[in-house]
Amino acid sequence: MQGWFKLHRCLINKPIWQCTTPEQKAILITLLMMANHREKEWIWQGKKYKCKPGQFITSLSSIAKKSGTSIQNVRTALKNFEKIYEFLTSKSTNRNRLITIVNWEYYQSQDNELTNSLTSSQQAANKQLTTNKNVKNVKNDKEVYRQVQHMKLTVEDFNKLRKLYSKNEIDNILDQMENWKKLKNYTDPYRTANNWLKRAHPNRKEREVLG
């Protein structure tokens, strides 16, 4: 493993940090270190699989060894991280496991734009600084929630879907879209995901709180 990853200070105030054991915290940081920072090819279910940034293929024993914890601790942590905190998704076979860190691209990339914008604006006049901030705010509105094949679903569009559907429901549909060969003929990820969600959850009415 080479390179580095970002660890946001806000993590210290999150339930996934405050409500977990020391062993689970060690596993959390280990998973972030193990995640790919760029696309990489692995073998998954006997076939070549291109892991996206934030994904990696591993095993319970490998995570336990790297984090210095037990396999049971890892098994419990993965279950809690997925079901309670929605930090990751995990798919397993009898040999290995595909782990996807949710929102990896969003959290690992957005500060780059912020830093570049601030560095550039420090060299400009106050008027130019204001302009740069306005431009940055527009860019943040188009931040990518997840890339599905050739299309990118923005955080803005994801939040629109969240008015009717839970995060897990949306992610499940995006997973299905990811594996659909005919998706290459489509260009609007929000419209496509919305149509699929409507078919999967007919008569869904907007509600205030979603799981």
pLDDT of residue 118: 39
Cβ proximity of 147 and 193 under 8 Å: no
* Nearest-5° Cα angle at 106, 102 to 112: 145
pLDDT of residue 27: 96
Is it the case that residue 67 has pLDDT exceeding 90?
yes
Specify the range with the lowest mean pLDDT, choosing from 3-7, 97-101, 156-160, 193-197.
Answer: 3-7
Over range 153-181, report the average pLDDT.
88
The pLDDT-based confidence of 57 (bands split at 50, 70, 90) is: confident
In the structure, what pLDDT confidence band is assigned to residue 105 with cuts at 50, 70 and 90? Answer: confident
- 85 compared with 142, residue with greater pLDDT: 85
pLDDT, position 124: 45
Out of 63-67, 91-95, 140-144, least confident range? 140-144
Q: How many CB atoms are closer than 10 A to CB 49?
A: 14
Domains and CATH numbers, the chain: 9-102 (1.10.10.10), 104-141 (no CATH), 143-211 (no CATH)
Q: In the structure, what pLDDT confidence band is assigned to residue 211 with cuts at 50, 70 and 90?
A: very low
Distance CA 161, CA 197 (A): 9
Looking at the predicted structure, is the pLDDT value of residue 204 above 60?
yes
HEC secondary structure over 33-79: HHCCCCCEEEEECCEEEEECCCEEEECHHHHHHHHCCCHHHHHHHHH
Of all residues in the chain, what percent carry a pLDDT higher than 90?
31
- Report pLDDT for 75: 94
Highest mean predicted confidence (pLDDT) among 10-19, 44-53, 123-132: 10-19
